[in-house]
Amino acid sequence: MTTRESTSNIVEAPARSRGGVPILVIDIAILLALVALYIIGGINGAFPLILAAIVLSIAFPFVSIGFYMIQPNQSAVLTLFGDYRGSDATPGLRWANPLYVKKKVSLRVRNFTTQTSKVNDARGNPIEIAAVVVWRVVDTARAIFGVDSFTNYVQIQSESAVRQLARMYPYDAFDETDVTTLIGDTSEINEDLLVELQDRAEDAGVEIMETRITDLAYAPEIAESMLRRQQAAAIVAARKKIVEGAVLMVRDAVAGLEEGDADHDSIALDEDRKATFAANLMTVIASDQPTNPVVNVGTLSR
């Protein structure tokens, strides 16, 4: 897998903000004070009190604009006239410069399944593949300013990474045991997909927590022929094991007849009898159909 340098030089930094409850108390006090000043100034005709009430009338909404609420696993990105001023992830009622623009970003774990894509594997066979991706935002500055839409970015890059992964490995290697395959080396394939996708997601400030191939199959147009090939390979492998076992059994049987034991005399067999005995026993053991015995009432030499 290749690695790339991030295209965004903006990294997350803590914002200068304050707890909202003390500021809320002050804001309420301003509201009460301006009401009192209006009443007293209006009754007494005191222009300075009315002027002070007007000033507080401007200050009250200005201070109120600075309030914002942060939920657990959520962060607010603060900007001032387009300039990044930091991120605030402290949950609860918060207050910052009223001129700041606050954009909230969820830090919760998310997941989605990519669309099932048809792509050619490393050997040119068309396959259908899909994966599930588990991710979360870890750098809110890059998530907002590094890409246009970090959610769409992650989904599109996931689709691309899955397709690229499918092109790098064959679906199945059949008799080749030293080849990494999509169907046979699931853990390694998932790890490669995670590394590739994490490298792509750096620009969006996203951590890829887990990737898993969920759908993997030959495309319908070749599925039947590939199934027959797999079945044939399985039959050949099974017959090979059967023949290997039958050979060992025949050797043990011939050796047992010639050696004998404490309770049974040995039976001497010449080369022709050994060959005939081995052939008959191999037929019985290795045949996939029931055998019909033929009784020889004469001798083997006649």
Handedness of CA 120, 125, 127, 131 (dihedral sign): negative
Domain that holds residue 70: 18-105
Looking at the 3D structure of the chain, how many domains does it have?
Answer: 3
Range in 4-8, 196-200, 215-219 the model is least confident about:
4-8
What percent of the chain has pLDDT above 70?
77
Q: Please tell me whether residues 23 and 86 are part of one structural domain.
A: yes
In this model, does residue 219 exceed pLDDT 70? yes
Q: Please tell me whether residues 99 and 122 are part of one structural domain.
A: no
Q: Which of 135-149, 179-193, 265-279 has the highest mean pLDDT?
A: 135-149
Q: Please tell me whether residues 119 and 98 are part of one structural domain.
A: no
Q: Please tell me whether residues 203 and 235 are part of one structural domain.
A: no
User: Alpha-carbon distance 295 to 272, whole Å?
Assistant: 18
Tell me, yes or no, whether 9 lies in a domain: no
Q: What average pLDDT score do residues 181-188 get?
A: 87
In this model, does residue 5 exceed pLDDT 60? no
Tell me, yes or no, whether 200 lies in a domain: yes
Tell me, yes or no, whether 13 lies in a domain: no
Q: What pLDDT, on a 0 to 100 scale, did the predictor assign at position 129?
A: 92
Q: Please tell me whether residues 134 and 209 are part of one structural domain.
A: yes
Q: What pLDDT, on a 0 to 100 scale, did the predictor assign at position 114?
A: 93
- Which of these three, 105, 140, 165, is where a domain ends? 105
Q: What average pLDDT score do residues 58-68 get?
A: 92
Q: What pLDDT, on a 0 to 100 scale, did the predictor assign at position 101?
A: 94
Contacts of 248 (CB under 8 A, 6+ apart): none
Q: Please tell me whether residues 250 and 270 are part of one structural domain.
A: yes
Q: How many residues appear in the chain?
A: 302
Mean pLDDT of the chain: 83
- Quick check: 198 and 208 in contact, CB under 8 A? yes
- Which of these three, 76, 105, 134, is where a domain ends? 105
Q: Please tell me whether residues 254 and 167 are part of one structural domain.
A: no
DSSP assignment string, the chain: ------S------B---EEHHHHHHHHHHHHHHHHHHHHHHHHHT-HHHHHHHHHHHHHHHHHHHTEEEE-TTEEEEEEETTEEEEEE---EEEE--TT-EEEEEE-S-EEEEPPPEEEE-TTS-EEEEEEEEEEEES-HHHHHHTSS-HHHHHHHHHHHHHHHHHHHS-S--TT-TTS--TTT-HHHHHHHHHHHHHHHHGGGTEEEEEEEEEEEEE-HHHHHHHHHHHHHHHHHHHHHHHHHHHHHHHHHHHHHHHH--SSS------HHHHHHHHHHHHHHHH-SS--------S-TT-
In this model, does residue 68 exceed pLDDT 50? yes
Q: What pLDDT, on a 0 to 100 scale, did the predictor assign at position 4?
A: 52
Tell me, yes or no, whether 168 lies in a domain: yes
Q: What average pLDDT score do residues 217-228 get?
A: 70
Q: What average pLDDT score do residues 132-144 get?
A: 95
CB neighbour class for 279 (10 Å; exposed up to 12, middle 13-18, buried from 19):
exposed
Tell me, yes or no, whether 296 lies in a domain: no
Q: Please tell me whether residues 114 and 147 are part of one structural domain.
A: yes
Whether the model clears a pTM of 0.75, i.e. scores above it, the answer is no
Q: Please tell me whether residues 124 and 203 are part of one structural domain.
A: yes
Tell me, yes or no, whether 1 lies in a domain: no
In this model, does residue 125 exceed pLDDT 50? yes
Q: What pLDDT, on a 0 to 100 scale, did the predictor assign at position 95?
A: 95
Q: Please tell me whether residues 131 and 208 are part of one structural domain.
A: yes
Q: What average pLDDT score do residues 127-156 get?
A: 94
Tell me, yes or no, whether 10 lies in a domain: no
Q: Terminal CA-to-CA distance of the chain, rounded, Å?
A: 72
Nearest residue to 203 via CA among 10, 1, 2, 14? 10
Q: Please tell me whether residues 86 and 178 are part of one structural domain.
A: no
In this model, does residue 217 exceed pLDDT 60? yes
In this model, does residue 298 exceed pLDDT 60? no
Question: Tens digits of per-residue pLDDT, 18-36?
Answer: 999 999 999 999 889 888 8
- Which of these three, 218, 235, 268, is where a domain ends? 218
Q: What pLDDT, on a 0 to 100 scale, did the predictor assign at position 302?
A: 46
Q: What pLDDT, on a 0 to 100 scale, did the predictor assign at position 26?
A: 92
Query: What's 143's domain CATH number?
Result: 3.30.479.30
In this model, does residue 1 exceed pLDDT 80? no
